[in-house]
Amino acid sequence: MAALGTLSARSPILGTPPLGPSNRRFANAAAILDSDETPPELLRRLKAIERDFGRRRGRIWGARVIDLDIVLWSGGAWSSAGLTVPHPRFRERRFVLDPLLRVAPAWRDPVSGLTVRQLRTRLTRPTPAPR
């Protein structure tokens, strides 16, 4: 398989608690990849890598060795059958935002206009106690 592109940044691997029914922690990371491929072309290749690692599709919250997603794209937003960029739920997932903050804190979400740093702050700021 040909290279996916050039790796221009990568976060450290961060251990995070599970989302959904699991008893184990997960290892999450983010990377910036420079590629000439369109998001659907890149996604096809990422899913092939998942299959090579033994990932089988079909079970939501199912056990998996690897999960590769396109979270953001320098071209802004993209929508096609089976792919929406930015990832529809990345703004509410700390396990995505924490590693992403390490590699692209100033990257703007093309939908909200907020930076990764602002999204992470919104997600983690304490909520005021009810009066």
User: Which of 34, 52, 67, 89 is flagged as catalytic?
Assistant: 67
Question: Is residue 89 annotated as part of the catalytic site, yes or no?
Answer: no
The Cα angle at residue 73 between residues 70 and 75, in degrees rounded to 5: 150
Given 10, 45, 55, 102, the catalytic residue: 55
CA–CA gap between residue 127 and residue 52 (Å, rounded): 43
CB atoms closer than 10 angstroms to residue 96: 23
DSSP three-state, residue 8 = strand
Of the residues 64, 93, 94, 102, which is catalytic? Answer: 64
Is 52 among the catalytic positions?
Answer: no
Whether 67 is catalytic is: yes
Phi and psi at 117, nearest 5°, equal: -60, -45
Query: What is the torsion angle, in degrees rounded to the nearest 10, for the CA atoms of residue 9, residue 15, residue 17 and residue 21?
Result: 80
Q: Which helix (H) or strand (E) holds 32?
A: strand 31-34
Annotated catalytic residue, options 34, 51, 52, 69: 69
Catalytic annotation, residues: 55, 64, 67, 69
